[in-house]
Chains A and B, each alone.
Chain A
């Protein structure tokens, strides 16, 4: 046990306790002296008059000195520390969420640095027999988890040195439960969970968080570290890859969503760079309390796995301004043109504007007889004319379509539309139309899969295209055919038929400007390339959020290896199929169960919100917590010490001072001599 003085500066006033004595001595020097012939009459009154008065005066002096001493000590705020020989166990919880990378004050120190400084001071205050544990609010594989509190201060300081900013958000309730479980192993000592945090509202006022039950056996103390609003509240919210996948040599568009939690619009400059060192930069403005989308296009990469890093200049924190994504670059897609390429008009040029193989699409022309042999693994599109289809579709082609391929059938390029024999294999009929003046081409099914990337354009797609000559398609109704494009009167010009895993597209328009202005429309390239690049899920890279556990499809051992971003090489075992959370943005390869999965961890954009919980009321998740201002390490240590069992001695000292003053007043009011005795009772000894 020990005594600590929280206001030791008041000790200078201790000599004031001697003031009554000094005043008494000074007054005694100036006291009037009266000479009497004898003191016999005074002694007759009370033989112990002088002794009794002297005792009373000394008691009064002592009480006055005691009152002053008690008041001065009360001002020094003594606290009685600890019990049981000073043994205490404290779980020091460091908030390592992304917001802790924001500034603590004008000096440049971050909030996390301030928290670590407080924790270091507290570790230094541990006495013999005290034990402590270090936890972080965001699980971090770089920070070992202690199985129980320890008293080794060097080891505790080493743990603090291992703590670095993360991109995750805090889960206060979860970490407090972990802390309580850890402290429970400490035995019957004074237990405290001390959380050093900026009390960001995003983490501490999260809706739907269940409150941690109050544990009467452990004290829960939250120390709010100094927090200064950052200059920017920008963060990378999301990085999306093209839905149809990425193919070799084809530009990689990265669609970014940026978030601004600040009260004013902010300019955002983003840079994307891939593992090959290729980069792209763009600038946009993000509205206040809003989001903005932008696209960074990386140059085409070779086939294989790649990753890209996106940095946001001027983000709220470094971790919030960094994002990663991983993607697999498929080999270039092959498009097979059956028959004469010239019959397809501008289709070959639209598919491969830079030549065969450019932009990830390679063109191959085959005779109908060699079609089956040309259907390779990388073949994604087969184009044939309506005339060729009228003879029926080869079984190999149908089988290929059902396996996931796309067959597009379109009129042979000619000066104008010409009747086409029936298509019994497809169940369609055709009719020649000539439109004067040319009629608009409209989208009949806005979200049709056949529109590919153009599906997002809505009604503006092909708004300027005019059709002069076409073959309208008669679709069986009811039936699986879908009208994708057509005329304003509803006649179909492009129909789609799902077949197995693939699809058959029948177009009544040849890609010839004599038929329509479609080949001249920029969207035509996106449309036809979309036929060759169907939507595929990038299955080998998963987007995960920093700090959140990841569910894996296997059990057992796992090896985490950092691919991009912070270095990581960790081996462990999955618990309930959950992978330990990744603390910082980056790309990690998770290997286990015979599988390898790329994980792209992104920071929690909500951490960019600089709103802080103010006041000293306990947050909803921790209703039993005591909130204090952790303005400095000494303040945090004092707050911890103040709560140790024993408590403050201020009130008892004030009560003592009041009692001393009351006693002094009572004594001073008492007469110094007993009431005169009646003459008859005096001794009359002769």
Chain B
């Protein structure tokens, strides 16, 4: 496993170690200019067997080398000369709502999201793919260009460590500005808490899927925000907008839980409707498990 040679808050050593053996593959042919692990959109340019590589979900089962399986009891895929590299874009939502945490000991959603982004960055880079991280709120904030080697991730990881939540989130507006800068047919990993109207999310996905990207949604939540654990008449403040309302949380608890469930279901449905992979992750879920399921 590639080592980083330093300790980053968003990617501590134990997390980096846990990512060993995890690969991220595209579900559709990529158009990368470099040789990589992923199916190329070009066929027949070279069919010379180069090496075996482990099977990753997404690989066509027909490419499994069954004789090799018989010998090794492992799913292996033949790697040919013409397999291309993956272009990945990690879009990280840095709006103020991700600054929330359910408990003092829990990480903020942004901290967790940064760890997710760093893990994706690390895995992709380790598997020879190029990845970049773009932060946004209601507009693009920063673009951390990808490198080809893990040791060169230090600046990106440092930038992730230094990331602070800012502003209100507007995914559609941000992606409108980001989309033109994305590589062709890239793996787009969108990390956000999606605390916006589902229609806005749907609009943003349309922009990505039409461009042929392989979109993966990582819906970051904190379990504490799924229900109202407080009671009584309180003043509820929106972290992003600062708007305040008075609410009797006891009265709203049931309806709030329903509203959250409905919202999560709606986001999931929209993601699937647009052919995007969707995964709901809460801040207590191990990063490695998330990436394995991605």
Whether B53 is near chain A, meaning CB under 8 Å from some CB there, is: no
Whether B164 is near chain A, meaning CB under 8 Å from some CB there, is: no
Q: How far is the CA of A673 from the CA of B196 in the complex (A)?
A: 21
Q: Are B235 and A33 closer than 8 Å at their CB atoms?
A: yes
Q: Are A686 and B247 closer than 8 Å at their CB atoms?
A: no
Q: Are A686 and B252 closer than 8 Å at their CB atoms?
A: no
Whether B170 is near chain A, meaning CB under 8 Å from some CB there, is: no
A33's partner among B234, B241, B251 (CB-CB below 8 A) is: B234
Q: How far is the CA of A40 from the CA of B222 in the complex (A)?
A: 15
**Known contacts A44-B262, A679-B262; is A32 also within 8 Å of B198 by CB?**
no
Q: How far is the CA of A390 from the CA of B241 in the complex (A)?
A: 151
Which chain B residue has the least Cβ–Cβ distance from A679? B262
- When distances are taken between beta carbons in the complex, the residues of chain A under 8 Å from B270 are 686
B225's partner among A37, A49, A684 (CB-CB below 8 A) is: A37
- When distances are taken between beta carbons in the complex, the residues of chain A under 8 Å from B255 are 45, 673, 675-676
Q: Are B237 and A34 closer than 8 Å at their CB atoms?
A: yes
- When distances are taken between beta carbons in the complex, the residues of chain A under 8 Å from B161 are none
Interface centre among B97, B245, B255, B256 (most CB of A within 10 A): B255
A32's partner among B232, B252, B262, B263 (CB-CB below 8 A) is: B232
Whether A83 is near chain B, meaning CB under 8 Å from some CB there, is: no
Chain B 101-115 interface residues, beta-carbon cutoff 8 Å to A: 109
Which chain A residue has the least Cβ–Cβ distance from B202? A686
Q: Are A37 and B248 closer than 8 Å at their CB atoms?
A: no
A35's partner among B237, B245, B249, B260 (CB-CB below 8 A) is: B237
Whether A31 is near chain B, meaning CB under 8 Å from some CB there, is: yes
Assign chain B's interface to a size class. 35 or more
Q: Of A50-58, A85-93, A109-117, A480-488, which stretch is located at the interface?
A: A50-58
Q: Are B97 and A37 closer than 8 Å at their CB atoms?
A: yes
Q: Are A37 and B100 closer than 8 Å at their CB atoms?
A: yes
Whether A39 is near chain B, meaning CB under 8 Å from some CB there, is: yes
Whether B259 is near chain A, meaning CB under 8 Å from some CB there, is: yes
- When distances are taken between beta carbons in the complex, the residues of chain A under 8 Å from B273 are 686
Chain B 162-200 interface residues, beta-carbon cutoff 8 Å to A: 193, 195-199
Whether B20 is near chain A, meaning CB under 8 Å from some CB there, is: no
Which chain A residue has the least Cβ–Cβ distance from B258? A676
Q: How far is the CA of A679 from the CA of B265 in the complex (A)?
A: 10
Which chain A residue has the least Cβ–Cβ distance from B222? A37
- When distances are taken between beta carbons in the complex, the residues of chain B under 8 Å from A676 are 254-255, 258-259
Q: Are A36 and B235 closer than 8 Å at their CB atoms?
A: no
Q: How far is the CA of A362 from the CA of B54 in the complex (A)?
A: 177
**Known contacts A35-B100, A37-B193, A38-B238; is A682 also within 8 Å of B233 by CB?**
no
Q: How far is the CA of A676 from the CA of B258 in the complex (A)?
A: 8
Q: How far is the CA of A675 from the CA of B109 in the complex (A)?
A: 30
Chain B 267-289 interface residues, beta-carbon cutoff 8 Å to A: 269-270, 273
Whether A147 is near chain B, meaning CB under 8 Å from some CB there, is: no
Q: Are B245 and A49 closer than 8 Å at their CB atoms?
A: yes
Q: Mark B188-228, 1 if CB is under 8 A from A, else 0.
A: 00000101111100100000000000000000001001000
Q: Are A35 and B234 closer than 8 Å at their CB atoms?
A: no
- When distances are taken between beta carbons in the complex, the residues of chain A under 8 Å from B234 are 31-34
A45's partner among B193, B241, B256 (CB-CB below 8 A) is: B256
B2, chain A: closest CB distance, angstroms: 35
- When distances are taken between beta carbons in the complex, the residues of chain B under 8 Å from A37 are 97-100, 109, 193, 195, 222, 225, 238-240
Q: Mark A19-47, 1 if CB is under 8 A from B, else 0.
A: 00000000000011111111111101100
A36's partner among B196, B237, B261 (CB-CB below 8 A) is: B237
Q: How far is the CA of A49 from the CA of B249 in the complex (A)?
A: 12
- When distances are taken between beta carbons in the complex, the residues of chain A under 8 Å from B269 are 684
Q: Are A685 and B225 closer than 8 Å at their CB atoms?
A: no
**Known contacts A32-B234, A37-B239; is A50 also within 8 Å of B263 by CB?**
no
Q: Are B199 and A686 closer than 8 Å at their CB atoms?
A: yes
Whether B266 is near chain A, meaning CB under 8 Å from some CB there, is: yes
Q: Mark A51-82, 1 if CB is under 8 A from B, else 0.
A: 00110010000000000000000000000000
Whether A611 is near chain B, meaning CB under 8 Å from some CB there, is: no
Whether B243 is near chain A, meaning CB under 8 Å from some CB there, is: yes
- When distances are taken between beta carbons in the complex, the residues of chain A under 8 Å from B243 are 39
A478, chain B: closest CB distance, angstroms: 121
Q: How far is the CA of A285 from the CA of B147 in the complex (A)?
A: 138
Q: How far is the CA of A54 from the CA of B121 in the complex (A)?
A: 48
Q: How far is the CA of A34 from the CA of B239 in the complex (A)?
A: 10
- When distances are taken between beta carbons in the complex, the residues of chain A under 8 Å from B256 are 41-42, 45
Q: How far is the CA of A675 from the CA of B258 in the complex (A)?
A: 11
Which chain B residue has the least Cβ–Cβ distance from A31? B235
A124, chain B: closest CB distance, angstroms: 56
Q: Are B245 and A672 closer than 8 Å at their CB atoms?
A: no
Q: Are B263 and A44 closer than 8 Å at their CB atoms?
A: yes
**Known contacts A33-B234, A54-B246, A671-B251; is A40 also within 8 Å of B196 by CB?**
yes
Which chain A residue has the least Cβ–Cβ distance from B226? A41
Q: Are A38 and B240 closer than 8 Å at their CB atoms?
A: yes
**Known contacts A34-B237, A42-B236; is A50 also within 8 Å of B258 by CB?**
no
B262, chain A: closest CB distance, angstroms: 5
Whether B230 is near chain A, meaning CB under 8 Å from some CB there, is: yes
- When distances are taken between beta carbons in the complex, the residues of chain A under 8 Å from B202 are 685-686
Which chain A residue has the least Cβ–Cβ distance from B99? A37
- When distances are taken between beta carbons in the complex, the residues of chain A under 8 Å from B235 are 31-34
Q: Are B261 and A39 closer than 8 Å at their CB atoms?
A: no
**Known contacts A671-B251, A676-B254; is A36 also within 8 Å of B236 by CB?**
yes
Which chain A residue has the least Cβ–Cβ distance from B274? A686
- When distances are taken between beta carbons in the complex, the residues of chain A under 8 Å from B248 are 53, 672
Q: How far is the CA of A128 from the CA of B233 in the complex (A)?
A: 58
Q: How far is the CA of A674 from the CA of B279 in the complex (A)?
A: 32
Q: How far is the CA of A673 from the CA of B237 in the complex (A)?
A: 18
Which chain B residue has the least Cβ–Cβ distance from A38? B195
B47, chain A: closest CB distance, angstroms: 42
Q: How far is the CA of A570 from the CA of B27 in the complex (A)?
A: 132
Q: How far is the CA of A672 from the CA of B233 in the complex (A)?
A: 11
- The list of the 3 closest CB pairs from A to B, nearest first, reads A676-B255, A50-B245, A37-B97
Binding site for A on B (CB under 8 A): 97-100, 109, 193, 195-199, 202, 222, 225, 230, 232-241, 243-249, 251-252, 254-256, 258-263, 265-266, 269-270, 273
CB-defined A-B contacts under 8 Å, sample of 14: A35-B239, A36-B225, A37-B97, A37-B100, A37-B222, A37-B239, A39-B236, A42-B247, A45-B255, A672-B251, A673-B251, A679-B261, A679-B265, A682-B266
Given A38-B238, A50-B245, A685-B202, list of 7 further CB < 8 A pairs? A34-B234, A35-B237, A37-B99, A39-B245, A42-B245, A686-B199, A686-B273
